[in-house]
Amino acid sequence: MLRKSNKGYFLLDAVFSFSLFLTVIVCFLPVIHHIKLESTIINTRLMMISALYSEMQHLKMETFIPVEREMTINHHHAWIQIEDRNDVWYGCIRWNNVRGESEDACLLAPKNE
């Protein structure tokens, strides 16, 4: 009499489950990496705009215009330029993000005269 064995079924089920698991991992790892990269870019942008805002606040106490500075903010080199345009101070900051692309942000502040 032949014995019925489920060993082949178990092996096939295990291989199928493992391949399904690997497929899900391979599909979601790039998505998770992209989300973390974008999060880093947004956090860096926030820090740069905050640094520019801080520099423009210090500028209200000092009146040395135009200002051009190179700074390092959280291991990123940034260039700040603040100048006088009509009745406002116009400040811009420029840096390279983690992708190597150049980004910039500008703020306007009223003069205190």
Prediction pTM value: 0.73
State the total domains in the chain: 1
Residue 64 lies in a domain: yes
Mean pLDDT estimate for the chain? 86
40 domain residue, yes or no: yes
Structural domain including 60 reads 7-110
The distance from CA 84 to its chain's CA centroid, rounded to whole angstroms, is 30
Please report whether residue 82 resides in a domain: yes
Q: What is the average per-residue pLDDT within 77-92?
A: 89
| Predicted confidence band of residue 95 (pLDDT cuts 50, 70, 90) | very high
Give the CA count within 13 Å in the CB-facing half-sphere of 14. Answer: 6
Per-residue pLDDT tens over the stretch 22-71? 999 999 999 999 999 999 999 999 999 999 998 888 776 666 667 888 98
